[in-house]
Amino acid sequence: QVQSLPSKSVGLFGGGLIFRSDSNGEDLPGFAGAGLYDSVPMVKNVQRTIMYHNEPLLTDPKLADSIMRGICKVAVDVEAAYGGEPQDIEGCYRDGKFYVVQTRPQV
């Protein structure tokens, strides 16, 4: 049973790099600034409403369980690689593989 949907209702499609207007605020001690700044695509993208109701992640309990277990394993492995220090981890999942994009100590 779906309890809630992801919070982003619009996605940018088209590719290219996206730059943040200021990402340094995220790294200040005791300051969680993630999401406070503008993201600037370097190429023209198309905005589309994202329809989540048919996404397999929300409709296939086995897939959802598998992905959640994979995320947990990535988190444990990354934290172990950093001496057990809790991490703020960003990544993605595609074609059955997890990719860590960045990690930093959690504040």
What's the pLDDT tens digit per position in 59-73? 899 998 999 999 999
Q: pTM for the whole thing?
A: 0.64
Q: Which long-range contacts (CB under 8 A, 24 or more apart) does 95-103 make?
A: 98/70, 98/71, 98/74, 100/74, 103/78
pLDDT in tens, 16-62: 877 765 555 555 555 555 555 667 778 888 888 888 888 888 789 99
